[in-house]
Amino acid sequence: MKVLAVIPARAGSKGIPNKNLRLINNHPLIYYAINNAKSSKYITDIVVSTDSPVVEAIAIQMGVNVRLRRPELSGDSVTLDAVIYDAAKNYTADYVISMQPTSPTLTPQTLDNAIEYAVRHDTDTLISAINKPHLAWLKDGDRKLPAYRERLNRQYLPPYYMETGAFFISKGSVVTPFSRFGAKCDIYEIPENEAIDIDTFGDLKYAEAVLERKRTAIYVNGNTLRGMGHIYRALELADEFYSKPDIYYDINQTDRKLFGSTTHTLIPVNGIDELLSIAEKEQYDLFINDILSTSIDYMTSLRNAIPNAKIINFEDDGEGIYKADLVINALFHEAYVPHMMSGEQYYISPKLYMFYGPIKIKERVKKVFISFGGSDPQNYSERLLNIISDREYNDISFTVVLGLAKDNADRLMNFNDYPNIEVLFNVKNMPHIMAECDMAITSRGRTCYELAILGIPAIAMAQNHREEKHGFVCSDNGFTYLGLNPADETIKANLDMYIHMGRAERLRFQSLLLSHDLKNGRRKVMNLINNL
């Protein structure tokens, strides 16, 4: 079977000057059509029809034929039918495929699938299209009328196919100077990200984003001992990519329900060996680990599985940092290797906190926020509840938030029987609840950053030896830090001190908390990742 690809690429683009020569992802636009045609399993001949000496030079350099257009075929009003016929008339071909250079995101696989479809269904003409159902209107004389019978959500509308410039497959026998249509016509639906037609500068930017898009995987685990912050951060980070990352978790370490109701792609694996096997098959461009400290053995195996990937580790102080391309440790302040970025400036704030300003410091403390993360392995929540259930605190309101992984949550909900205590589980709008309070008691983890964004004076306690290394939570930054597993008497004494603390001192604490730029860490982190 003879299949000819004709790529029309004239020089006279008005909307985007030199459009076919514009560089996208370091290649001129014309490159992508030629490369797709060369990569096809079925295309036997390729010819570029152009009046541009530069396009001609690129085509020759890429090893394809050129048909120089006569002036009468280069004007704005000339139809593609005449141009394609002029380029194809000296070839004997079973099929002639018109491929616009303005569709750079088309893939060779989709092109070959369409050729197979045309042959299998014996179509005279097959046109690339995208299914974009919309509530549309038509003009009938002076009237505008709906082009639908009933208003439905988009997913329930009937198909509405729009042609793209990706390809126009015709049997050679139907190609004339006036038409490429035969009697038997059909359309071939292509994926939306392969259907970009470059007509505007915005299209150029969109195409570049698609072509530069990196295939990304995130490996994350969270549980009672490890904490839930890794999962929260992984989901926030996943939202920053212009495609869905594959998010892996180990079923031996993490319960699926801890991810909540996310629509991100979650993939369970049964141990490291299965993860490495999948990674080797998928060959990701970016691989992100958020699993606490990594080992040399794990990182070496991961490197061997995906040798061309960039590997980014979060909150990692293990030996595996030496094998990573980038390490981001927002909770630690010391950088052990040159490619480690440490400190609060790399903290990824949850999106909701971006919309809240600092609380107003009142004359006296009336409401206290208490939360110890998703799991609370030291069971600080119950210890605090036992303290504040004493009637000496009847004049103070307490809001206690329990996380998804809190193992005795059902029993602790009984403290709601106290009129001044509200125990909540799996809260969706945490900043709203925090912002209603005057002070807080929490772990020495990510919640402290959230409290600092809101300017809420806070007491903090470490849940484990790892949290003892978290340098941000200290008196210089506006916190009172009690160490790991302090005595109940120490916790109570500091709670009483804060409750009776004057407004001026709490304002001083707030000023220290607000002196840090914690809302821009997301942008800084993504800049580091995108520049790898």
State pLDDT tens for residues 88-147. 999 999 999 999 999 999 999 999 999 999 999 999 999 999 998 889 898 999 999 988
**Out of 149-153, 189-193, 231-235, 354-358, which region has the weakest mean confidence (pLDDT)?**
149-153
Beta carbons within 8 Å of 428's beta carbon, 6+ residues apart: none
**Residue 404: pLDDT band by 50, 70, 90 thresholds?**
confident
Strand 340-342 and strand 367-371: the pairing is unpaired
Structure tokens at 71: 């002036």
pLDDT of residue 12: 75
pLDDT of residue 532: 92
- Count of residues in the chain: 532
Asked if residues 245 and 264 have their Cβ atoms less than 8 Å apart, the reply is yes
Q: 28 pLDDT exceeds 90?
A: yes
Mean pLDDT across the stretch 161-187?
Answer: 95
Asked if residues 112 and 40 have their Cβ atoms less than 8 Å apart, the reply is yes
E strands, 237-304, in order = 246-250, 265-269, 286-290
pLDDT of residue 501: 97
Asked if residues 130 and 195 have their Cβ atoms less than 8 Å apart, the reply is yes
Distance CA 271, CA 276 (A): 9
Other C-beta atoms within 10 Å of 139: how many? 8
Distance CA 366, CA 436 (A): 10
Using CA atoms, how far residue 212 sits from 219, 278, 285, in Å, is: 22, 23, 11
> In the 8-state DSSP scheme, what is residue 70?
P
Asked if residues 219 and 282 have their Cβ atoms less than 8 Å apart, the reply is no
Q: What is the pLDDT of residues 315-359, one digit of tens each?
A: 998 999 999 999 999 988 888 899 999 999 999 999 999 999 999
Using CA atoms, how far residue 347 sits from 333, 334, 450, in Å, is: 12, 15, 10
pLDDT of residue 407: 80
Asked if residues 226 and 292 have their Cβ atoms less than 8 Å apart, the reply is yes
> Among all chains, which residue has been given the structure tokens 């904490």?
227
Distance CA 482, CA 486 (A): 6
* No. of helices (H) and no. of strands (E), the chain: 15, 24
